[in-house]
Amino acid sequence: MYLGIKTKLNINIMVSVAEASSVVLTHLFTPSVETITFQHAVNRVLAERIVADRDFPPFDRASMDGIAISFASWKKGRREFVVQDTQPAGVPGKSLEDAQQCMEVMTGAVLPKNTDTVIRYEDIEINDGTARLLTDDVVLGQNIHNQGHDAPAGSILLEPGVLLSPAEIALLASVGKVTVQVFGFPAAAIVSTGDELVNVDATPQPHQIRKSNTYAIQAAMRTLGWAGTVFHVPDDKENMVAAMKSMVETFKVIILSGGVSKGKFDYVPAALEEIGIAKLFHTVNQRPGKPFWFGVSKEGVTVFALPGNPVSTYMCFYRYIRPWLLQSAGIKAEQTMAVLAEDFSFVPKLTYFLQVAVKIENGKLMAYPDPGGGSGDFANLKNVTGFLELPAEQTRFVAGELFPYFPFRPMV
Ligand code: AMP
Ligand code: MG
């Protein structure tokens, strides 16, 4: 399927974005399982089933501060109740001995025996040990959070594949999961190429620039709980082959940036093939990021060789590598769609990744185009929240149309 259109030079295998994506997603990895403390599990992917060890909540719980009464005596017309005792939270359940009386109860306390209705302090007045109702609006069972209402003991709270948010951390804490199994992702090498690149702490010569792509990828990976080690190889084929040979022995995933295009010193594809990484495609019908190269080795090393222009690297990560990681971990994420907020046109017959800033307006995700100055203009990424994928066969895109949206940053 992906042995599609060839370029004029007949050296590349060009695929569409959909084909590239499907090739990448048919080469998923099998994640390992790690045990970590639950406090470090946010943003990790759950690898085990989490079951309620007790009912949620574990007892009939007063959900308001006030008094607990027997509804039957209210029904018979009683509006004043002598306070028998107080039921604080964290104390075993007491018992209301006289149904004509009441028990003061605190939020989180066990509902006293022989009571079935809680009236909040706001709706009563207590004088000389007697509570008098200020409202006639009383319903049987009000202000009580019933035992097992949210989840019965033994029920499944979470299945493997859940991306753990703070809400799930609360559940893990609640069932006493001090340690939890999460998926571990394969160690990745993140490799920059290019003789113009210098280290972040260096002062560049006029013809040099500091490396940034590898750090953007490393940071994007960290948000997924995925660790990557940063490397650099020069634009020298022998050097590159030697460096990659040793990398494939240590790493299961190699993400390269730069050196995959048609430049005289773009040795990455040749070096990868020389060390036995089988090319599955090279060049994708997309802008930015057209020279993207993807391959796998017999030993199961997956190589993403991304074009070096910073916006290309960035978008290829979010369009291909992130979904590859999430699907490998069993996360079934639905494709987000956003509404194009303004007319836009793009004539070349390429899928265009349009940088957009999304805003929620009238409940809709509205995407405002901000294309920036091309694939080298990575400063523009600070102005946008993600990109829309505009199909290759269309040239005019009308405000109001829906397109797949790939976010770089969470909504705030
Ligand atoms: P290349 O794909 O090697 O032709 O590089 C395309 C452009 O991206 C060049 O201007 C490079 O200097 C730039 N570039 C390549 N790698 C990086 C990197 N790691 N950080 C920042 N810019 C880069
Ligand atoms: Mg280069």
Of all ligands present, the nearest one to the C-alpha of 194 is 2
Look at residue 12 in the predicted model and tell me its pLDDT.
56
Q: Which of 132, 175, 179, 185 is nearest to 153 (CA)?
A: 175
User: pLDDT value at position 6?
Assistant: 38
Q: What is the pLDDT of residue 333?
A: 80
Burial of 351 from C-beta contacts in 10 A (0-12 / 13-18 / 19+): buried
pLDDT score of 4: 35
State the pLDDT at residue 184: 93
Q: Measuring from atom 23 of ligand 1, which residue has the nearest CA?
A: 308
Query: Does residue 290's CB lie within 6 angstroms of at least one atom of ligand 1?
Result: no
pLDDT of residue 263: 96
268-298 burial, b at 16+ Cβ within 10 Å, e below that, comes to bbebbeebebebbbbbbbbbbbbbbbbbebe
Ligand 1 lined by 87 (C-beta under 6 Å): no
- How high is the pLDDT of residue 216? 98
Strand, helix or coil at 46?
strand
Q: Tokens 């199909």 belong to which residue?
A: 391
Residue 291 near ligand 1, beta carbon < 6 Å: no
Which ligand has the shortest distance to the CA of 260?
1
- Cα–Cα separations (whole angstroms), residue 133 to 73, 80, 107, 239: 13, 6, 19, 85
pLDDT in tens, the chain (412 residues): 333 333 344 445 789 999 999 999 999 999 999 999 999 999 889 999 999 999 999 999 999 999 999 999 999 999 999 999 999 999 999 999 999 999 999 999 999 999 999 999 999 999 999 999 999 999 999 999 999 999 999 999 999 999 999 999 999 999 999 999 999 999 999 999 999 999 999 999 999 999 999 999 999 999 888 999 999 999 999 999 999 999 999 999 999 999 999 999 999 999 999 999 999 999 999 999 999 999 999 999 999 999 999 999 999 999 999 999 999 998 878 999 999 999 999 999 999 999 999 999 999 999 999 999 999 999 999 999 999 999 999 999 999 999 999 999 988 7
Distance CA 404, CA 338 (A): 6
Listed residue (367, 341, 345) closest to 356, CA to CA: 367
Residue pLDDT, tens place only, 324-359? 999 999 887 899 999 999 999 999 999 999 999 999
> Which atom of ligand 1 is nearest to 193's Cα?
16
Q: How far from each other are the two terminal CA atoms of the chain, in whole angstroms?
A: 40
What pLDDT is stored for residue 400 in this prediction? 98
Q: pLDDT tens-digit profile of 68-107? A: 999 999 999 999 999 999 999 999 999 999 999 999 999 9
What does the pLDDT look like over 244-279, one tens digit per residue? 999 999 999 999 999 999 999 999 999 999 999 999
Residue 5's pLDDT is 37
Q: What's the pLDDT at 225?
A: 84
Dist. CA 166–CA 84, nearest whole Å: 41
Three-class secondary structure of residue 373 per DSSP: coil
Phi-psi region of 291 (alpha: psi -120 to 50; beta: other; left: phi over 0): alpha
Q: Tell me how far the alpha carbon of residue 188 lies from the centroid of ligand 2, in angstroms.
A: 21
Ligand 2 centroid, distance to 266 Cα (angstroms): 6
Compute CA distances 97 → 74, 86, 398, whole Å.
Answer: 16, 13, 72
pLDDT at 2: 36
Q: Using most ligand atoms within 8 A of CB, pick from 309, 311, 316 the residue to mutate for ligand 1.
A: 309
CA of 265 to the centre of ligand 2 (A): 7
Global pTM reads 0.84
pLDDT of res. 40: 95
CA atoms within 13 A on the CB side of 77: 0
* Rounded Cα gap, residues 165 and 406, in angstroms: 20
